[in-house]
Amino acid sequence: MKPFHELSTSMGLALSGLCLVLPATAAWGQTIDDDLGSAPSVASVQGKLHLRSHDVDVVINNGFATTTIDQVLANPTDRALEATWSFPLPDEASLSELSMWVGGTRVIGEVIEKGEAQRIYEEERKAGESAALAERNGFFDYRVSVSRVPAQGEVKVRVVYYQPLDIDQGVGRYLYPLQNGNTDDANMNQSFWSMEKEVTGGMTIDVTLKTAFPIDGLHSPSHAALTTGLESEELWRASWQGTGPVLDRDFVLLYRLAEDVPARIELLTSRYADQGEGTFMAVITPGDDLQEITHGTDWMFVVDVSGSMAGDKLRVSSQGVVQAMESLRPEDRFQVIQFATNHRVLTRDWVQPGTSEARAAALAVSNLQTAGSTNLFGALDAAYERLDADRPTAIILVSDGVANTGPHEYRDFIKMAKAHDARLFTFVIGNSANARLLGDLASLSGGFAKTVSVQDEVGAHLMLARDRMSHEAMHGVRFRMDGKTVVHPKRKPSLYLGQQLVLFGRYEKSGASELSVSARISGEERTWTVPVELPAIDEANPELERLYAMAAIADLERAEWLDGKSAGETRSAITDMAVQYSLVTDHTSMVVVAEGRKAAYGLGNANADRRAREQDAARTRAQAGNQVQVQTGGAPLGGSRSAHAPSRARKRGRSGGGGGGALGPVELLGIAGLVALGLSGRKRGRRA
């Protein structure tokens, strides 16, 4: 995350103040007249807001995480200031709360149509009242404004969001994004910004990890001073604290499941007595039925070198691509394309690993420089044109995911991907990227997408693609559950070795049911069926409702982009769902006003009531433990072990199983840190 400071003149008004970072990137302070509640017409003494504290509390409860950020803004000046900042959220996260303390009382924001929320906030700001506003800026980030921070005073603000998590190759990963993505050129005119990264009082991160299966330990590649502790077989805690310039790097947490964890289906549900339908989240972890493929694969590495990739993003991307190239099998081949405004092929033809040509290509990748815009379409088009139709092929795209030159409409990319038979694996580097576009491109091609922090082991993530092309995959995945009424996402991705499938949906009937997953493996139809229970009442996981709604909204957006639904039709449906579940979208915003002023604007307490349910459930879970159904067994996809277990346990050489030396990608994903902590290899029994 990179906070910014702006001092500029706009519309003839002198604006002064300072920017700060709340959970993430740009922010500024604007002077507000104490008497009139409006920006002054003459220049005033420059003010500076301080971020006195930044406290992050993370609870990982099986398949989803709740992140709560409390921060205190201090204003040492003699003028009231308005604070505005922006921050990215992880993929598929739902912003559930923006609140501020007014007169010692916490006031929770309510979600309404975007234009109306802006109008209310401006009226309150001009009236000199305390107010706050949260808006979404497309895929780039969320924007928050707070008015007002009183002269010589302070304001406490809270942001809460939920995000689904999954396990990849037996390793769970949580990301708290802090670094600025530098992808929104239209809103980041660098000539007006200066940098600020400090928390004057301090920053803390506290993590609680609960899981239905035992894990070997926790590790943070980004925050080495993280302290961890095992309280029980199902409960871990971790903490970190720092002062000064601490808001300049993402927080990445890895946790590894024990090796004896079986293939399974985990089902979380939510249903209150006043609801006609229940909500569910299903996390499906297939077994080890995916067999190794021994023939060679062609790899096309497509590397973004546009201006927004400057600094750490290109450095870690280049290192990761070189690692992946060097890990290929002798029977594989590769080419490399760099792209910005234009593209350039760094290899004359297909290159064999381990040759002098391969070493020259690695050196060229290590010396890449950034410049220009991002012609993503042109680069992918060139990659597709160079493929050999007689060999299995995968394209590895490494980019920050923003196309701003050449064809850049969603439909342009989808049409191109559908026209070619090649797996596309997309690795989105950094925050504020178009992860939705790249994820859908990968899914349609039968590949997969990853969002990677510059604090991650990027090379290890790229090597996962290598392992997956060396094993069978599950294509044409279908999900069925008796009693369900809808499931999202509607288009299921292919599943590769070690991957999980995470689904959200609604169910109508209650009682005993059957859940099945079907897929094609090497052209053969396979089905996995297990019994489940759909409860009539389950108050353990009300947060699932928002996660379900976010998944449904994503499918509504795809209906417009992919299926030609009218923008007006999808906008109306998205707005209705977002207001019903209190979600901030491109068409809705969350506005905070003092309790005594809500009635004047017709604001109710829908989100406050929803948050009360969610907090009550969280407190109950803290006392009662895990509330998740776990079903194992059920050949042929069940197996005795989950797919990650044999892959991780085996030491792979250059000639076998997609190997590249003694360590595979999972070992490189920070797991060496677990070994150093003495946490690996711990044997425990399984508890459902």
- How far, in Å, CA of 186 to CA of 83, rounded? 20
Give the pLDDT of residue 362: 95
Say if strands 264-270 and 227-232 run parallel, antiparallel, or are unpaired. unpaired
pLDDT at 630: 84
Mean pLDDT lowest for which of 28-32, 557-561, 578-582?
28-32
Mean pLDDT of 360-370: 95
pLDDT at 184: 43
Helix (H) or strand (E) holding 74: strand 64-75
| Residue 160, pLDDT above cutoff 70 | yes
pLDDT at 635: 61
**What is the arithmetic mean of pLDDT over 365-375?**
92
Residue 27 pLDDT level (bands cut at 50, 70, 90)? very low
Degrees, nearest 5: CA angle 92-223-164: 15
Q: Which amino acid belongs to residue 303?
A: V
Cα separations (Å) of 44 from 50, 79, 214, 346, 368? Answer: 18, 9, 59, 55, 46
User: Domain residue spans in the chain?
Assistant: 298-470
Helices (H), 66-161: 114-126
The answer to whether residue 78 scores a pLDDT higher than 70 is: yes
- At 536, is the secondary structure helix, strand, or coil? coil
For residue 268, the surrounding DSSP H or E stretch is strand 264-270
Cα–Cα dist 661/654, whole Å: 6
Instruction: State mean pLDDT over 131-137.
Output: 93
List pLDDT tens digits, range 237-294: 999 998 876 777 889 898 888 777 778 888 999 999 999 999 999 998 887 667 777 7
Position 471 confidence tier, pLDDT thresholds 50, 70, 90: confident
Would you state the pLDDT for residue 640?
A: 60
Residue 393 in this model has a pLDDT that exceeds 50: yes
Higher pLDDT, 120 or 177: 120
CB atoms within 10 A of CB 242: 15
- Range among 35-44, 136-145, 163-172, 591-600 with highest mean pLDDT value: 591-600
The 10 Å CB-count burial string (b at 16+, else e) for 676-685 is eeebbeeeee
446: helix, coil or strand? coil
**High-pLDDT (> 90) share of the chain, %:** 39
85-95 tens-digit pLDDT: 888 777 778 89
Supply the pLDDT for residue 638. 66
Q: Has residue 40 got a pLDDT over 70?
A: no
Closest CA to 369 of 307, 324, 426, 322: 307
Ranges 11-25, 51-65, 463-477, most confident: 51-65
Average pLDDT over residues 654-658: 34
pLDDT, tens only, 373-382: 889 889 999 9
Q: Compute the average pLDDT of residues 178-193.
A: 43
Q: Give the lowest-confidence range in 323-327, 388-392, 581-585.
A: 388-392
Q: How far apart are CA 236 and CA 335, in angstroms?
A: 44
Distance CA 50, CA 229 (A): 33
Question: What is 286-305 written as a DSSP string?
Answer: -BS---B--S--EEEEEEE-
Provide the mean pLDDT of the chain: 79
> For a pLDDT cut of 70, what percent of the chain falls above it?
78
More confidently predicted of 605 and 192: 605
Place of tokens 């029977």: 331
Report the range of poorest mean pLDDT among 99-103, 257-261, 514-518: 257-261
Give the mean pLDDT of 334-360: 94
For residue 77, is pLDDT > 70? yes
Q: How far is CA 679 from CA 361, 455, 626, 685, in A?
A: 39, 22, 22, 16
pLDDT of residue 634: 64
Q: Any residues with CB less than 8 A from the CB of 367 and at least 6 apart, and which?
A: none
Q: What's the confidence (pLDDT) of residue 457? A: 67
Surface-to-core class of residue 348, CB atoms within 10 Å of its CB (0-12 exposed, 13-18 middle, 19+ buried): exposed
Return the minimum-mean-pLDDT range out of 301-305, 624-628, 659-663.
659-663
- What's the whole-model pTM score? 0.80
Least confident of 8-22, 453-467, 633-647: 8-22
Label residue 632 by pLDDT band (50, 70, 90): confident
pLDDT surpasses 50 at 16:
no
Give me the pLDDT at residue 294, please.
74
Point out the least confidently predicted range of 12-26, 193-207, 509-523. 12-26
SS3 content of the chain, % helix, strand, coil (to 5): 25, 35, 40
pLDDT class for 639, splitting at 50, 70, 90? Answer: low
Q: Give the pLDDT confidence of 292-344 residue by residue, as tens digits.
A: 777 888 999 999 999 888 888 888 889 889 988 998 889 999 999 999 999 99
Give residue 180's pLDDT.
Answer: 59
Query: 610 pLDDT exceeds 50?
Result: yes
Locate tokens 């991307």: which residue? 317
User: Mean pLDDT over residues 99-119, rounded?
Assistant: 95
Work out the average pLDDT over 642-651.
Answer: 47
CA-nearest of 255, 190, 194 to 219 is 255
Rounded CA-CA distance 407/415 in Å is: 12
User: Mapping DSSP to helix (H, G, I), strand (E, B) and coil, where does residue 519 land?
Assistant: strand
Q: Give every CB contact of residue 438 below 8 A, 6+ residues apart in sequence.
A: 397, 399, 401, 426, 428, 449
Close Cβ partners of 398 (under 8 Å, ≥ 6 residues apart): 301, 302, 303, 304, 317, 320, 321, 427, 429, 462
Which two structure tokens, joined as six digits, stand for 248?
């300049």
pLDDT number for residue 42: 24
| 298-470 CATH pick, 2.30.40.10, 3.40.50.410, 2.60.40.150, 3.30.413.10 | 3.40.50.410
Lowest mean pLDDT among 221-235, 494-508, 517-531, 561-575: 561-575
DSSP string, 138-168: TTTEEEEEEEEE-TTEEEEEEEEEEEE--EE
Mean pLDDT of the region 668-674: 39
pLDDT of residue 111: 98
Amino acid at 513: S
Range picked from 62-66, 578-582, 652-656 for highest mean pLDDT: 578-582
Q: What is the pLDDT of residue 423?
A: 83
Tell which wins on pLDDT, 280 or 192.
280
What b/e readout covers 558-594, taking b as 16+ CB neighbours within 10 angstroms?
A: bbbbeeeeeeeebbebbbebbbebbbbbbbbbbbbbe
